Structure 1
């Protein structure tokens, strides 16, 4: 099995004094390096606002499954990232989250010919213990819906 060397170092722990929104804005503007998984799968955090984030990615043949299309896990991971980060934008300093449940609907096949895709995550509810969000993956060129999903997250205190 081949080993992947990352072009960026792992992201440092979120400083305790930063809110989720502040942290994500530092990632989006390049002040902090992207998480290694974003580098691996080619995800770019391109918009961050209160309760909403947008990731951009360009699917390639290196993500193909045996049937000759992009593996569904690509869209699922993109949705999980966007929906989780949408929740994170609403979390105060010292508070984090983890995915409890992820539901993904793949409505169109994705190939390299699809071109760049955009994934928007929106927080629906962020409470003291749980949060929910929804997301959509669309083809940037056509605006066609490729996948959509929902998530439930557990809201937790960040470890010191």
Structure 2
């Protein structure tokens, strides 16, 4: 296996899906399982649990924000050459309905546009019937050596 710095973004994320490299530690705090990656698209299985509640007993908005930042970022990452990084500079989220507790949902990210310096992607959290829970657009700075 190549060293991670020698991998394209897609190769790196595929290695993560395959279990060849460890998943990001944030996936222990916010249960996210990157299960499918292709050029410009990422999919996660996600599930909020009792650790993610706000003081009123609902799932905190930070759960959806973290998931959407991750899935939109992975979609951008999948388009990058070896040694190139990225960072989110803008994340715009619309909460459409409350995230349910202890229900597996699907988060999907897809690239809208890539340029030399910026990547723009969108993400959504849906259930098995396609019902929309949250939507986001993200702009990422492409960091070249």
| TM-score where L is the length of structure 2 | 0.94
Structure 2 gaps of 5+ residues are: none
Question: Partners in 1 of 2:117 and 2:56 — Cα distance?
Answer: 41
* Aligned 8 A contact 1:61 1:111 in 2: no
Instruction: Tell me the residue number matched to 2:134.
Output: 147
Question: Partners in 2 of 1:63 and 1:111 — Cα distance?
Answer: 11
CA drift of 1:33 comes to: 0.9
CA drift of 1:42 comes to: 1.1
Question: Partners in 1 of 2:72 and 2:23 — Cα distance?
Answer: 17
Instruction: Tell me the residue number matched to 1:74.
Output: 63
For 1:123, which of 111, 121, 132 is the aligned residue? 111
Q: Secondary structure at the match of 2:19?
A: coil
Q: Secondary structure at the match of 1:16?
A: helix
Q: Where does 1:91-130 land on structure 2 (aligned, <5 Å)?
A: 91-112=80-101, 115-130=103-118
Question: Partners in 1 of 2:54 and 2:5 — Cα distance?
Answer: 40
Question: Partners in 2 of 1:155 and 1:82 — Cα distance?
Answer: 16
Instruction: Tell me the residue number matched to 1:20.
Output: 9
Instruction: Tell me the residue number matched to 1:62.
Output: 51
Instruction: Tell me the residue number matched to 2:125.
Output: 137
| TM-score where L is the length of structure 1 | 0.86
Question: Partners in 2 of 1:100 and 1:110 — Cα distance?
Answer: 25
RMSD: 1.2
Structure 1 gaps of 5+ residues are: 1-13
CA drift of 1:71 comes to: 0.4
Question: Partners in 2 of 1:39 and 1:95 — Cα distance?
Answer: 26
1:32-85 Cα deviation digits (max 9, x unpaired): 111110122111001100100001111112211012111001001100000000
2:18 aligned with 1:29, yes or no? yes
For 1:42, which of 9, 31, 42 is the aligned residue? 31
